[in-house]
A and B are shown apart, each in its own frame.
Chain A
Amino acid sequence: MKSHLGNRIAQIVPTLLLVSILVFGLQQLMPGDPAVVLAGEERGDPRVLAQIRAELWLDRSLPLQYLHWIGNVLQGNLGMSWHIGQPVSQLILQKLPVTLQLGGMAFIVAVAIGVPAGVVAAVHRNGFWDYVANAIGLAGLSTPNFWLGIMLILLVSVNLGWLPPSGFVPPTEDWRQSLATTIMPAFVLGNAIAAILMRHTRSAMLTALDADYVRTARAKGLGEFRVIVWHALRNASMPIVTLGALELGTLLSGAVLTEQVFSIPGFGKAIVDAVFNRDYPVVQGVVLVTAFLYVVLNLLADILYVVVNPRLRSG
């Protein structure tokens, strides 16, 4: 187990290194000279431009610029926002809890819908409920979540008046209002993941239901519910955990659009606002932190996989 985890941790180091090069490289795609953008009205003054270039190490070679940048990143310094003049890391720390709350709720919604639907589909393989679950899953995969969000606002907020159409209230302020403002976005965000989880669960359950231990459990006279949940689903849960973790990227991508539709001041909205304000350090910071989160969460899923899998645990 230790060697497995050691290998996984060793693998993510080069991945994160390459991610940092990729994110640093984005800056090179930027049209024009960053110093000119930052100088504002003083862009005509060569001394101001030279001073900015020296401060940001823009007058050095690319490898040196990278080393300077990564050195700062490793100390938690992601640079300053060009638009609001606030440290990027501080901005991200403000926005991250909002997205994590939304993402966490969306994941609960996805599991609550996707896993039971996948189990039902597998148990009724090629039957009516299998087709229904597959059709709903395919529809979920084909629906752009921002459109689903707009349609739900139209139906639930505008026509029925049940939930607020937009905004966000932190749970520390008023947990009921917080739930009311996040339940619809969480459903929208969880929808696509639910469809993917449904497919993974169906596939893993089909394999589990064909296994000898399930036949043995049935032969022992156990009830069908117990066989499905206690024996098949328990074994199918491992691939579901691993494959589900890979969808965290879909969750983070979806958060950008969901936060935009529901005006939620999270991580996703921050990157979109930064794009329109040409606030490139924020764009870079968000991409870097998102990738880091994705890699770390996948590592946690791997650790969980080892913990729940006795064969790997003893190895």
Chain B
Amino acid sequence: MTALRTSSPRRLAMRRFLGRPVAVAGLIAIGLFVVVAALAPLLAPFDPIVTSWTAIRKAPSWAHWMGTDENGRDVLSRVVFGARASMMAGVVSVAIAAGIGVPAGLLAGFAGGWTDTLLSRAVDAMLACPFLILAIALAAFLGPNLTNAMIAIGVSTAPRFMRVARAATLDAASNDYVEAARAVGNPAWRVAVRHILPNIVPPVLVQGTLAIASAIIAEASLSFLGLGQQPPDPSWGSMLNAAQRFLTQAPWLAVFPGMAIFLCVLSFNLVGDGLRDALDPRQR
């Protein structure tokens, strides 16, 4: 019994993942970012929106660890609250992308024929529009705010999920257990949902983790361009946009939000790479 349990693919993958210290470090860092985002009101030393005309562009000090911005707001508090926008954008847009892409990929791979051709061509068309340019266009037409930025990023990311899910479905559908499930008279939807879907989870999970990293950069990019989170609400990207105007007078305004984006994205990339290696060691 024990031997069976230790050799299950899931356990093996888990052990391989935990055997990679950098991936575990990434996971711990993501956990910290989630805690910071969730407990932002408790952790931030100051209100991130309230301005103070007596504390404009103060360099980092004991009172303000990351200094203050052009409106006298505490940069640390804004970076802490900015984690909310970034984490939310990462998770929500990837949920939208997976919500559209995975069912479409499952359908294309399982149904084949015209359905597959049509969906695959639609994905080719969407992938032909560079990701950020499509997201900018969507955000522009939908209107600039964080919700629309998340929708734009999610819709632009969906084709990647569709491709991964389709490939994994084609791979899973050729297995004997799928043939067996069909042979005993299961309806097609049941075979797809009960027998194929659980088997396409690993590649989708890897794609999802790496897509969160891309989505966080995309949200920061859209906010940097003024198409995401709108002032005065803090977001790392919009903080960098404002920082550009004061590079010579207040360089710290550009350093800390950028470091936050870098560390957050790096953490998701580390976990994504670790998951890929753990779930598919052939790719190592």
Within 8 A of A (CB), among B138-154: 138-143
Q: Is the CB of A257 within 8 A of B224?
A: yes
Q: Is the CB of A150 within 8 A of B262?
A: no
Q: Mark contacts of B189-223 with chain A using CB atoms, 8 A cut-off: 1 yes-contact digit, 0 otherwise.
A: 00000000000000000000000010001001100
Which of the listed residues A146, A249, A250, A283 has the most CB atoms from chain B within 10 Å of its own CB?
A146
Q: Complex Cα distance A104/B244, Å?
A: 26
- Whether B278 is near chain A, meaning CB under 8 Å from some CB there, is no
Number of interface residues of A (CB under 8 A): 51
Please list 19 pairs of residues, one from A and one from B, whose beta carbons are closer than 8 Å in the complex, sorted by A's number.
A15-B121, A19-B129, A29-B141, A144-B224, A144-B237, A147-B257, A150-B240, A158-B248, A158-B251, A252-B130, A253-B133, A260-B225, A275-B140, A284-B137, A286-B137, A287-B129, A290-B129, A291-B128, A291-B129
Contacts A21-B125, A260-B225 aside, 14 further interface pairs with beta carbons under 8 A come to A14-B121, A17-B125, A18-B121, A29-B138, A138-B266, A144-B217, A150-B243, A153-B247, A158-B247, A249-B127, A253-B132, A257-B221, A257-B224, A275-B140
Q: Is the CB of A154 within 8 A of B121?
A: no
- Interface size class on chain B is 35 or more
Q: Is the CB of A147 within 8 A of B262?
A: yes
- Whether A117 is near chain B, meaning CB under 8 Å from some CB there, is no
Q: Complex Cα distance A294/B125, Å?
A: 11
- Whether A128 is near chain B, meaning CB under 8 Å from some CB there, is no
Using CB atoms, name the residue of chain B closest to A155. Answer: B251
B residues less than 8 Å from A280 (CB atoms): 140-141
Known: A15-B124, A19-B125. A249 touches B131 (CB 8 A): yes
Q: Is the CB of A142 within 8 A of B266?
A: yes
- Whether A37 is near chain B, meaning CB under 8 Å from some CB there, is no
Closest Cβ–Cβ distance, residue A223 to chain B (whole Å):
29
- Whether B122 is near chain A, meaning CB under 8 Å from some CB there, is yes
- Whether A229 is near chain B, meaning CB under 8 Å from some CB there, is no
- Whether B165 is near chain A, meaning CB under 8 Å from some CB there, is no
DSSP class of B's interface residues: helix, strand, loop or mixed? helix
Q: Is the CB of B121 within 8 A of A256?
A: no
Closest Cβ–Cβ distance, residue A77 to chain B (whole Å):
20
Closest Cβ–Cβ distance, residue B108 to chain A (whole Å):
15
A residues less than 8 Å from B127 (CB atoms): 249
Using CB atoms, name the residue of chain A closest to B220. Answer: A144
A residues less than 8 Å from B126 (CB atoms): 22
Known: A153-B247, A272-B136. A290 touches B130 (CB 8 A): yes
Q: Is the CB of A147 within 8 A of B261?
A: yes
Q: Is the CB of B136 within 8 A of A271?
A: yes
Residues of A whose CB lies within 8 Å of any CB of B are 11, 14-19, 21-23, 26-27, 29-31, 138-139, 141-144, 146-147, 150-151, 153-154, 158, 249-250, 252-254, 256-257, 260-261, 271-272, 274-276, 280, 283-284, 286-287, 290-291, 294-295
- Interchain Cβ contacts within 8 Å, total number: 143
Using CB atoms, name the residue of chain A closest to B144. Answer: A275
- Whether B258 is near chain A, meaning CB under 8 Å from some CB there, is yes
Closest Cβ–Cβ distance, residue B129 to chain A (whole Å):
5
Closest Cβ–Cβ distance, residue B78 to chain A (whole Å):
16
B residues less than 8 Å from A272 (CB atoms): 136, 225
Q: Is the CB of B133 within 8 A of A256?
A: yes
A residues less than 8 Å from B87 (CB atoms): none
Q: Complex Cα distance A153/B128, Å?
A: 32
B residues less than 8 Å from A158 (CB atoms): 247-248, 251
Which of the listed residues B139, B221, B226, B254 has the most CB atoms from chain A within 10 Å of its own CB?
B221
B residues less than 8 Å from A147 (CB atoms): 240, 254, 257-258, 261-262
Using CB atoms, name the residue of chain B closest to A295. Answer: B128
Within 8 A of A (CB), among B241-280: 243-244, 247-248, 251, 254-255, 257-258, 261-262, 265-266, 269-270, 273
Known: A18-B121, A144-B221. A138 touches B273 (CB 8 A): yes
Q: Complex Cα distance A18/B121, Å?
A: 8
Closest Cβ–Cβ distance, residue A34 to chain B (whole Å):
11
Closest Cβ–Cβ distance, residue B209 to chain A (whole Å):
13
- Whether B134 is near chain A, meaning CB under 8 Å from some CB there, is yes
B residues less than 8 Å from A26 (CB atoms): 137-138, 141
Q: Complex Cα distance A99/B270, Å?
A: 32
B residues less than 8 Å from A139 (CB atoms): 262, 266
Closest Cβ–Cβ distance, residue B162 to chain A (whole Å):
14
Q: Is the CB of B130 within 8 A of A253?
A: yes
B residues less than 8 Å from A261 (CB atoms): 244
A residues less than 8 Å from B225 (CB atoms): 256-257, 260, 272, 275
Q: Is the CB of B258 within 8 A of A144?
A: yes
